[in-house]
Every structure is written in C-alpha cells, then in structure tokens.
Amino acid sequence: MKHLTLVISGVLMLSTSVGAAAEPNRETIAAWNAYVARNGDRPGRPGSMPPGTIVDIPGGTIYHSSGSIIVRNTTVDRAVRALMYPGTPPAQEDVLESRVMSRSGNALRVYLKLARSAIVTVVYDTEHDVTFTRHSPGMVTSRSVATRIAESGGGDRGFLWRLNSYWRYTQVGPDVRVDLESLSLSRSVPRVARAVARPVIDRIARESLDRTLISLKRFLQAAAV
C-alpha cells in the first residue's frame, strides 16, 4: 500500500548539517495542501505526472512519482480483497513492522515502521488512514494518507514530513492494471546542492517505487492462483 519515498534524507545529509529540529511552517503546509488538492486521487488518469517530478515549494520539497503494473489472470475483487485482509502491505525491505490498528468497513488505520537507507538510514514510526472506494464493478481506488510520522530517536530533521499514496485497480480483460501515484514532502534541498541532489533523489526514489510495485505484483499474482 505504500510507496516509501524516504529518499531525500541522504542527499540532505550530504548537502548540509541539520539542526536538532525542523518543522514545516504554515506556508509550507499550505503549499503542500494546495498541491495535494490539485494532484491527489488521480492515479492512471490522463495527464498524470511523469515517473518522477521534484517540486520546490516555500520551505519544502515535494517528490511526486508514479508507476503501474499488470497482474495477470485475476480480478479487481480478488486483488482488493487480498490487500484488505490482512490489510498490511506486502513484505518489502522498507517496511520493518506493520499492523492494522483499526478497521471500519472499507477504511483501515495502519501502523508501519518504515526504514530507508541512502547515505544514512532513517527509521520512522508512522500511522496511515487507508480507504478503498469502489467506482464500478471493474474499478476500485484506494488512498493512504500518513497521519503521524515520527523519526526514531526523537527530533525532526525534516527528511519526511508528509506521505500520501493513491492507487487505482482496473480490470483490463482477464488482468488487473494497478496504477500508483505517491506524494512526499521534505525540507528544502539547498539551492547550491540541487544540481547534484536531484538526480540522486530521482534515482533512489525510482528504485524504491519499483521495489514497491514488484513486491505488490508478486503478492497479488500469488493470491490469484
């Protein structure tokens, strides 16, 4: 359920030393909310973002990535049921722990301990509201919004402030197409480091998204048997 874009951390450590605490200001949050309102909940729609887009906003950096997979010989109902029960994401190296905290109809609250290694390893305790919505017999969407992100060890170095992911499951003949868009917010990358940082951020995030989609495909393909 998650594309874990915890990738800017290593680049930030290269570019500057970070103080004890870094929190997004009101202008940063307003810009994030406006971006989400314009670009969230649209996986796979015409005009979706390229595979990786870095957006500078006041006091922060948004990373917007997307991808898709085809799961052969299954149905949307079967795929969604496999994801909702047990409700935790398929096994992947970025997820150290996971559990469902609560469940109500098509909505879940999920705890994830996330880890990501670039130049440093950063671990987060996170909570996510996940909601599945049926639009037709052959199409379901889901959204996952992080409601709590706490860096292990306390403090906040600004490596990950927000994390949303949006999924679309569409029946295509005998197969299911899965589309993903992921949005994450971190502190700004210093201007002097951007030329070096951006290719690194993009490469690491692309690898993370690919791992997420590959693990999901394996999981759903096994559930289809």
What's the per-residue H, E or C state across 142-193? EEEEEEEEEECCCCECCCCCEEEEEEEEEEECCEEEEEEEEEEEEECCCHHH
SS3 assignment, position 104: strand
Does residue 89 fall inside a structural domain? yes
Please write the tens of the pLDDT for every residue from 75-118.
Answer: 999 999 999 998 888 888 888 999 999 999 999 999 999 987 65
**Among all chains, which residue has been given the structure tokens 């495909």?**
217
More confident residue, 214 or 202: 214
pTM for the predicted model, two decimal places: 0.84
Does residue 1 fall inside a structural domain? no
CATH number at residue 13: 3.30.530.20
Does residue 176 fall inside a structural domain? yes
pLDDT for res 66: 87
Q: Tell me the C-alpha distance between 192 and 218, whole Å.
A: 41
**Domain range for residue 174?**
8-224
Does residue 14 fall inside a structural domain? yes
pLDDT for res 3: 45
R_g (Cα) of the chain, nearest Å: 17
Counting the structural domains of the chain, the total is: 1
Does residue 3 fall inside a structural domain? no
Does residue 147 fall inside a structural domain? yes
Query: What is the CA angle 163-165-170, rounded to 5?
Result: 180
pLDDT for res 115: 84
Does residue 122 fall inside a structural domain? yes
**Among all chains, which residue has been given the structure tokens 């003949």?**
173
Q: Which of 14, 35, 1, 16 is nearest to 161 (CA)?
A: 35
Asked if the peptide bond before residue 86 counts as cis, ω within 30 degrees of 0, the response is yes
Does residue 2 fall inside a structural domain? no
Please write the tens of the pLDDT for every residue from 176-200.
Answer: 999 998 899 988 877 766 676 667 7
